[in-house]
Structure 1
């Protein structure tokens, strides 16, 4: 199905302290208040590139560090091999860095956002997406499509701001299996290794955000195509019941967004049988990962990763019985 035939989707209307500097610093007017301190990003957060004829941006929504590099990783009996991998590749041993990369693509008159990060948070380390969009010259009102891979906070929360949709002119797409899971009377977390104490709050937060987005929601079945085939939503279950990945195609070029098939640039590529505590159904996530990685490697597909080092573009290469994430070299040339 093309976006033009998706229910409810159409062309949306675009919405369209005094101080003086001195040699000694800034002098504020009598009634002026100091400007709020800008969020400290630390490094550049926007990288522009091409997918065929499409303009695309990789925007960092921030970063986190999970202390204890193996505390979240399973199976436990393989942790000596995981530690050996970290040591042999010169990786930090005090924690797992988690990158949060947001893909934005301009497709003709459409601007598509693939997940939206953490959103409004009281932290300088996360919640950078809106600043990144501003750097890219994109106003929230210009975004016409928001694609959700799954409903964990670093993917869903940024679609909501101030109790309203953060992108008021965007249709909101997701697999129906994702919605059904979170809205079940008792969502099935029986197979996950994550902290059970977190679950009631997670469920309330997710359902509340879906309620806010109800007016713009457009559930789409796996295989649905948008914008005349430019974007295809594909089922990739395991991390969550309705976890989705996305294939963006322009002419002979394409990009496969892997979303949360891997939370690390080494572990799940090196051994697809390794998994993280956040997976809802670890065995299903392993099966999905093996299928997608095998196809991507065989077809030499250009890929994008949500949690690999920013800007997140690269290839999945076969190495022995596993794979290697090979990051694409940055390029600023035309």
Structure 2
């Protein structure tokens, strides 16, 4: 499994990961803020640069076969849709059932109708592509999920700041359920640390951290 990091900056744009498997299939983890008219425009730098970043590594949106959305906050999912249509028209979009059930507001209204026929809904841990697994990690949102590929864990917003690696109880103002988020963070980080896993984070200044 080959991994490309896309836009690994500690800003509202977040970070995305592009994975290419042995059969040349492509999986994208998160889609960023999207265009100037996306729900993220009220607070994040838009438009996002995802399509250009993909082009820089020789990938067209139509080549993506799987998109995994760690959660449905605007900086992680708005880029899945443009002009009311899926940007990655040939991809199934992996979302947790708990995330869909809780989805409300402008981002859900922007993303979900356009992706309705493209959704791959999972409940809990699941294998979603060769060597690619998702794990339910609730707290930041009810259906937040991380992505595992070998030793790498793509953590979405499980951790938002390096200080949380030392103290998982440090809260984040935008966690939907701070107590659950802290408990999940502690449990997942302990397991990943025991593996000496590599974190691929969305908002750290250094996108890759070995525990």
* TM value normalised by structure 1: 0.58
Q: Which protein has the bigger strand share?
A: 1
1:294 aligns with 2:197: no
Task: Give me the whole-angstrom Cα distance separating, in 2, the residues matched to 1:226 and 1:285.
Answer: 24
Task: Give me the whole-angstrom Cα distance separating, in 1, the residues matched to 2:68 and 2:124.
Answer: 13
Task: Give me the whole-angstrom Cα distance separating, in 1, the residues matched to 2:75 and 2:120.
Answer: 20
Secondary structure at the aligned position of 2:102 is classed as helix
Secondary structure at the aligned position of 2:7 is classed as strand
Superposed counterparts of 1:213-224, under 5 Å: 213-224=115-126
Among candidates 123, 128, 147, match of residue 226 of structure 1: 128
Q: Which protein has the bigger helix share?
A: 2
1:113 aligns with 2:18: no
Structure exhibiting the larger radius of gyration computed from Cα positions: 1
Among candidates 175, 187, 207, match of residue 109 of structure 2: 207
Deviant stretches of 4+, over 4 Å? 122-126
1:178 aligns with 2:73: no
State the Cα distance separating 1:125 from its structure 2 match: 6.4
Unaligned runs of 5+ in 1: 1-53, 65-97, 184-202, 317-334
Task: Give me the whole-angstrom Cα distance separating, in 2, the residues matched to 1:258 and 1:144.
Answer: 21
Task: Give me the whole-angstrom Cα distance separating, in 1, the residues matched to 2:103 and 2:168.
Answer: 26
Unaligned runs of 5+ in 2: none
Secondary structure at the aligned position of 1:296 is classed as helix
State the Cα distance separating 1:209 from its structure 2 match: 1.3
Secondary structure at the aligned position of 1:280 is classed as coil
1:246–1:258: 8 Å Cα contact kept in structure 2? yes
1:99–1:308: 8 Å Cα contact kept in structure 2? no
State the Cα distance separating 1:63 from its structure 2 match: 5.1
* TM value normalised by structure 2: 0.90
Match of 2:199 in 1: 303
